[in-house]
Amino acid sequence: MTAATIGAEQLGARTEPSQGKTTKGASRQSGSGAIWKIGTAVIVLYALFPVLWIASLSLKPAADVGDGKLIPANPTLENYQDIFTSGEFVRPLINSIGISLITTLIAVVVAAFAAYAIARLDFPGKTLLLSGALAIAMFPPVSIIGPLFNIWRATGLYDTWPGLILPYMTFALPLAIWTLAAFFREIPWDLEQAAQVDGATPYQAFRKVILPLALPGVFASAIIVFIFCWNDFLFAISLTSTEAARTVPAATAFFTASSNFINPTGQIAAAAIVVTVPIIIMVLIFQRRIVAGLTAGAVKG
């Protein structure tokens, strides 16, 4: 999924206006409303149905899991209590949050410098950097787990946080570079000079003018990178073996084999809801920017 979130500017999609400005055309079309209203309802249902199903399972006591009803007959929070008291979920949750946040922070900071250079400066190797990043984002992660497995075991990085953060960088950096560069290109940098002409110091001009314009894009890029790390499964099951670094997706897959959870369906469902809700909240807040970031490259061309 993730890698694909990068645009393909050099592939030349013939497109121009940016995502945020597309709303004008539609408002003229208010005539044939009904069909689009139905369509809207269908999309919302499509997106939510599996989530509702999982939420329903997570609220069912073990005995009711097989009843096939969407609305739990005897709703209970015991699945949530189970996962939060067992440690089998709490520790992976901490790992997931920590590893994803650290990766996101490093990737966004390092990528911000590169993206600024790409958006504003002329330097040799610029297109090589962009197309190289795109190529890296496209390659299959399974191609590097073998070597990493071997090196990590030899160097002690196996089953540690850095052992996951490093490979996540591989994909997080290209993602961050592409989305940030796309956002930075949209910033009217002339305003910085205008502010200085009006008597602002360079620092003031940056802090009061450029930073507020850049921050939403940086946040959106950070969320996109975070979702990538949060989602990873292959690296997480290949390069960890214990709770020291195992993340939620990997831990959830191994609930099945665990002896604590005899019939882990309810617990898996509860864990699923716990890790999904924060993402939905972030998506709610930054919806417009995330859409813009995801389609960044493809929109310009």
Short-list 244, 242, 251, 246, CA closest to 271:
251
**Number of C-beta neighbours around residue 265 at 10 A:** 17
Whether 8 contacts 134, CB under 8 Å: yes
Contact stretch for another protein (CB under 8 A) within 87-95, 111-119, 198-206, 209-217 = 111-119
Pull the structure tokens for residue 235.
Answer: 């690296």
Longest dimension (CA), the chain: 72
* Stretch 131-160: interaction string toward another protein, x if CB under 8 A: xxx-xx-xxxxxxxxxxxxxx---------
User: Is the torsion defined by CA of 262, 265, 270, 272 positive or negative?
Assistant: positive
Judged by CB under 8 A, the stretch of 68-76, 156-164, 196-204, 207-215 that binds another protein is: 68-76
DSSP state of 208: I
Q: What's the CA gap between 3 and 171, in Å, rounded?
A: 7
- Our finding on whether 73 is near another protein (CB under 8 A) is no
Which of the ranges 5-13, 81-89, 197-205, 207-215 carries the binding residues for another protein, by CB under 8 A? 5-13
Q: Does residue 272 belong to the site contacting another protein (CB under 8 A)?
A: yes
Q: Is residue 103 at the binding interface for another protein, with CB under 8 A as the rule?
A: no
- Residue 260 in contact with another protein, rule: CB under 8 A: no
What contacts 250, CB < 8 A, 6 or more positions away? 92, 233, 236, 237, 240
CB closer to another protein out of 51 and 200: 51
Q: Which two tokens stand for residue 100?
A: 């994803």
Judged by CB under 8 A, the chain residues 166 through 195 that form the site for another protein are: 166-167, 169-170, 173-174, 177, 185, 188-190, 193
Q: Which of 4, 63, 215, 244 binds another protein (CB under 8 A)?
A: 4
Q: Which of residues 198-227 bind another protein (CB under 8 A)?
A: 227
